[in-house]
Amino acid sequence: MIADPAWKSALLHKGKDVADLLEAVLSGKDVDLASLPVPSGPGEDPELRLRNFLDQIDRAIETFDTDAFGRCQLCGADLDRGALQQQPWLATCPAHAGRWIS
Ligand SMILES: [Zn+2]
């Protein structure tokens, strides 16, 4: 997978957005989590969801220039380029979507 350099800035921006959301949650504000990946279970704690997502974004940034980027963390399948275009933090193939690795 040759990563598009534009994805890196998208990752950095998203990481900042999510960090801001996390800070808002921690200070007791109501935040809209509609932009987050679907929770792995109902009622999952907003703070946990944000932390998981932030980890996922950080991992994508860390692996950006490596072979690991753009591969499913569970099965190693190449991820769809179009999907990465939309969500460069994508960590799993469709078969493993919604499964967090932590
Ligand atoms: Zn997979």
pLDDT tens readout for residues 46-77? 999 999 999 999 999 999 999 999 999 999 99
pLDDT at 33: 85
Buried b (16+ CB within 10 A) or exposed e, 23-45: eebeeeeeeebeebbebeeeeee
> Which residue ranges make up each domain of the chain?
5-27+43-96
Length of the chain: 102
- Superfamily for domain range 5-27+43-96: DksA, coiled-coil domain (1.20.120.910)
Q: Are 93 and 77 in contact (CB under 8 A)?
A: yes
Q: Exposed (0-12), middle (13-18) or buried (19+): which is 68, by Cβ within 10 Å? A: middle
* Ligand 1 centroid, distance to 21 Cα (angstroms): 28
pLDDT at 37: 76
pLDDT tens readout for residues 26-54? 999 988 888 787 666 667 789 999 999 99
* Ligand 1 centroid, distance to 74 Cα (angstroms): 5
Residues pairing with 71 in the sheet: 78
The model's pTM = 0.86
* Ligand 1 centroid, distance to 89 Cα (angstroms): 14
